Amino acid sequence: MIIAEDKIIILETVSSTNDYMLDKIKAGVITDEGTVVVTNEQLEGKGLDKNKWESESGKNLTFSVLLKPDFLKADQQFQLTKIISLAVFDFVRNYLPNERIKVKWPNDIYVGNKKIAGILINNTIKGKEIMYTVVGIGININQRNFSDEVLNATSLWHYLNCDLKTEYCLKNVLSHIERRYQQLLNNETTQINFDYKKALYRLNDFNLFNYKNAIISARITGVNEYGQIKLLQKNGAEITCDLKEIEFII
Q: Where are the beta strands (DSSP E) in the chain?
A: 8-14, 36-42, 61-67, 101-104, 108-111, 114-126, 129-139, 206-211, 214-223, 229-233, 238-241, 246-248
CATH code given to domain 5-199:
3.30.930.10
Return contacts of 105-109, CB within 8 angstroms, 24+ apart: 105/200, 105/201, 105/220, 105/223, 105/229, 106/48, 106/78, 106/81, 106/223, 106/227, 106/229, 106/243, 107/48, 107/81, 109/85, 109/139
Q: pLDDT of 8-50, one tens digit each?
A: 999 999 999 999 999 999 999 999 999 999 999 888 755 555 5
- What is the per-residue pLDDT for 57? 85
pLDDT < 50 stretches in the chain: none
Got the DSSP string for 11-47?
Answer: EEEES-HHHHHHHHHHTTS---TT-EEEEEEETT-B-
Are 51 and 153 within 8 A, CB to CB? Answer: no
Closest CA to 82 of 241, 231, 229: 229
| 219-224: long-range pairs with CB below 8 Å, 24+ | 220/105, 222/197, 223/78, 223/105, 223/106, 223/196, 223/197
Q: Which strands make up the sheet holding 101-104, listed edge to edge?
A: 8-14, 36-42, 61-67, 129-139, 114-126, 108-111, 101-104
Q: What is the pLDDT of residue 52?
A: 63
Query: The pTM is what?
Result: 0.94
Other CB atoms within a 10 A radius of the CB of residue 230 amount to 16
- Rounded (10°) CA dihedral 39, 12, 50, 250: 60
Q: Is 164 exposed, middle or buried (0-12, 13-18, 19+ CB in 10 A)?
A: middle
pLDDT at 167: 95
23 CB contacts (<8 Å, ≥6 apart)?
Answer: none
Residue type, 205: D
